Every structure is written in structure tokens, then in C-alpha cells.
């Protein structure tokens, strides 16, 4: 059973037209750091990475922490150690050829180092494309990535040395014939995205059976793939009992239960409302726990993390704000 503790809007004092694709981390003093990209419109060269700090129901003014003369996308946070926070993000006006940048903070997000390329010379985007990395039982860090240069497909970037070097897993491909719908002009995405087909943006977890991913797809269903070798290779992917609207999803594994946040809506480029929190004992069948947001608008691209018996969830709120919710697991 879940109890909703609070609901906060992070960007009430904003200087930008649009914000999207949030990610979060909680500090030991209960401050929540939220990052996202924002600017005039998704894919425009004025988009940049912003950060807010939320505590006790109050949010700071958004602060720009990374910008250049190209579009910025999909920031992802990872706590490498208590004194080393890592920020991944994508840079590039063309998604198919964007690159992944990394910055570090050694003072819990108060300041950041200069950015550097995660994999020097890479084109297409290594590392986490949208969802959080996890550290598995072997000690390896798994970064859930995907590629959009051609058919959409997913992979994991695996690091055995605390993000100094990376080994790319086998790619996860899933294609169905004859399932494609026209674009939905009500969704404020970059026009270049509408021609894609396949699976992208995995969320990853580990249990006693291995490493697993759930994937956003263009086929109206969430797709799952399983690995028995620590994420190096995957068995044949398959749909689970959850609709997907070709929009981002995220999950976290807590005490034998998987918690998933997504739009439970079928169809390619279908509406991005409602946004709902589910639980599952098997990662295939899901039970609704709470509706985070519904009604007209876009409520999308969630990030969910677990800290003890608490779930923290951030998500896009109609492209004008970033919402942050906390739930306690009773």
C-alpha cells in the first residue's frame, strides 16, 4: 500500500517556455535535486540543462548548469559515491548523431566540473539515454541506452571501473510489421522523432533471475528483455501486459517488487495522459497504485527512485513545469 506524502512543482519561477525530461537524486538531508532540459522548444539550439533543489515542499529557482550552441537533452544523475555526483546529458540538434557529455559535482550539486565526452568521438549517444544507471550485485554499473540512427534499438553500457571505461552490450531489437500510426501534433516533440520505429529508452533492474529491461516502443505495448549474463546479451524481447504510447517510462525494484511509472495508453504517439504508478511481482503483470496526473495536457517522461521505504517521482507537467511526488510504502 502506498501513501502520497507531497506534490511539488519545481519550475514555478521559470525563464523558459518549455521544460521536459527530468531526473532526480535525494540527498541525505532530504533535499531533492531535479535536473531537466528547457528552452524555447524541444530540439532547438537554445535548450540547456537546468537544476532545481527542493526541500520541505519548497523549490529553488531553476539554475542553468550546462549550455552551448546546440540542443541539450535528457539529463541523468548518478551517485557514484557520497562525494561524487555524475550528470550525463545529450548534445546535438540531430538525435541520430548526438553525443553524451558528463559533468561531476563534488559538493552535492552546488557546482559542476567542465563537461567532457563520455566516449570520445562517439556519434549516436552512449550511456544512459534517459533513465538512471544502476549498480548490480557484481559491482558493475549498467547505463541503459538506445540508438535512433536507423531502426530504434536499445543496449546497456557496462562499466566495471566506476565509469572510467564502458563496454557496450549486444543491441536489443524488436520489430513488428504493419503497426505504425500518423504523428500526433498535440505532442510537442522534435519533428525528427516521428519517423522512428522500434524500441528505445530502457529502464533496467536486477533480481535473482538476472538483469531485465522494460522498453518504450512504437507498437502500443511495453517491451521487455531479459539477460542472464549481467546485461551483456539479452534473450528474445517480448511484450508485457502494459500499454505504451511511444513515450518514456521508468521503474525501480524494491524488496522484491517492481514499481513502474508510465502512460498506460496504447498506440504510437498516443496521448501522454494519464500518468500512473503501478506495482508488479513479476515485471509482466501490473497493478495500479496511484494516478499521478490526468486530464488534458502532457504528463510524461517520469523518473522514479527508491530511498528506504520512500518512492520519489519527477515528471513533465504539460511542458511548463516539472512535478515531484513522494510516496511512502506502508
Confidence grade of residue 180 (pLDDT, cut at 50, 70, 90)? low
Considering the chain, what percentage of its residues have pLDDT values greater than 90? Answer: 86
Residue 179 · residue 268 · CB < 8 Å:
yes
Q: Say yes or no to pLDDT of 127 above 70.
A: yes
Kind and range of the H or E run holding 87: strand 84-91
Whole-prediction pTM: 0.97
CB contact at 8 A, 93 and 43: yes
pLDDT digits (tens, 9 = 90+) for 4-31: 887 888 877 778 999 999 999 999 999 9
Mean pLDDT of the chain: 94
Instruction: Give the integer Cα–Cα distance in Å for 204 and 192.
Output: 26
Domains detected in the chain = 2-329 (2.120.10.10)
What are the grid coordinates assigned to 88, written together?
550525463
Which helix H or strand E contains 294, and what residues bound it? none
Contact in structure between 249 and 261 (CB atoms under 8 Å): yes
Amino acid at each position: 500500500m502506498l501513501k502520497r506524502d507531497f506534490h511539488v512543482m519545481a519550475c514555478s519561477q521559470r525563464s523558459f517556455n518549455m521544460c521536459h525530461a527530468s531526473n532526480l537524486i535525494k540527498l541525505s538531508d532530504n533535499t531533492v535535486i531535479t535536473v531537466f532540459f528547457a528552452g524555447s522548444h524541444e530540439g532547438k539550439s537554445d535548450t540547456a540543462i537546468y537544476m532545481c533543489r527542493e526541500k520541505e515542499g519548497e523549490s529553488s529557482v531553476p539554475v542553468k548548469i550546462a549550455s552551448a550552441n546546440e540542443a541539450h537533452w535528457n539529463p541523468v544523475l548518478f551517485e557514484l559515491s557520497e562525494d561524487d555526483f555524475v550528470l550525463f546529458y545529450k548534445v546535438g540538434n540531430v538525435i541520430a548523431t548526438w553525443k553524451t557529455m558528463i559533468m561531476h559535482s563534488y559538493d552535492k550539486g552546488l557546482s559542476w566540473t567542465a563537461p567532457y565526452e563520455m566516449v570520445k568521438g562517439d556519434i549516436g549517444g552512449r550511456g544512459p539515454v534517459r533513465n538512471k544507471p544502476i549498480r548490480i550485485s557484481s559491482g558493475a554499473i549498467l547505463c541503459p541506452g538506445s540508438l535512433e540512427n536507423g531502426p530504434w534499438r536499445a543496449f546497456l553500457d557496462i562499466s566495471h571501473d566506476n565509469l572510467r571505461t564502458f563496454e557496450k552490450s549486444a543491441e536489443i531489437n524488436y520489430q513488428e510489421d504493419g503497426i505504425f500510426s500518423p504523428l500526433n501534433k498535440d505532442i510537442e516533440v522534435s519533428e525528427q522523432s516521428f519517423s522512428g520505429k522500434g524500441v528505445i529508452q530502457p529502464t533496467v533492474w536486477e533480481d535473482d533471475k538476472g538483469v531485465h529491461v522494460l522498453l518504450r516502443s512504437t507498437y502500443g505495448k511495453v517491451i521487455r528483455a531479459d539477460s542472464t549474463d549481467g546485461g551483456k546479451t539479452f534473450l528474445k524481447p517480448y511484450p508485457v501486459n502494459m500499454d505504451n504510447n511511444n513515450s518514456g517510462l521508468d521503474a525501480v525494484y524494491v524488496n522484491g517488487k517492481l514499481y513502474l511509472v508510465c502512460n498506460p495508453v496504447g498506440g504510437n504517439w498516443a496521448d501522454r495522459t494519464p500518468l500512473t504508478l503501478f506495482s508488479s511481482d513479476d515485471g509482466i503483470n501490473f497493478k495500479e497504485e496511484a494516478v499521478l496526473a490526468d486530464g488534458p495536457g502532457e504528463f510524461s517522461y517520469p523518473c522514479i527512485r527508491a530511498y528506504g521505504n520512500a518512492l520519489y517521482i519527477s515528471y513533465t507537467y504539460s511542458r511548463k513545469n516539472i512535478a515531484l511526488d513522494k510516496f511512502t510504502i506502508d
